[in-house]
Amino acid sequence: MTYELERQIDELRAELRNAVDPCERRQIEAELDFAQAELTLAIAEDGRVDAEPPF
């Protein structure tokens, strides 16, 4: 599961670099924040990191 999230994050970062429209940038940034939070949670649940919740 983490591999898919890492890949999604990489794709969102690439989209963000190419986004020109401010509305589109905000949407991609929100999706990126959500995907990063999901990844942090997945890693913490997997027991590899003793971390606080991302939100």
Query: So where are the chain's domains?
Result: 2-45
Biggest CA pair distance of the chain? 39
DSSP E strand boundaries for 4-55: none
Taking the model in full, what pTM does it have?
Answer: 0.78
User: Over 90: is that where the pLDDT of 55 sits?
Assistant: no
Residue 44 in tokens? 């913490």
User: Taking phi first (over 0 means left), then psi (-120 to 50 degrees means alpha), and beta for anything else, what does residue 16 get?
Assistant: alpha
Model confidence at 52, pLDDT cuts 50, 70, 90, reads low
User: Over 90: is that where the pLDDT of 51 sits?
Assistant: no
Q: How does pLDDT run across 4-50, given as a tens digit for each residue? A: 999 999 999 999 999 999 999 999 999 999 999 999 998 888 876 55
Distance CA 53, CA 23 (A): 28
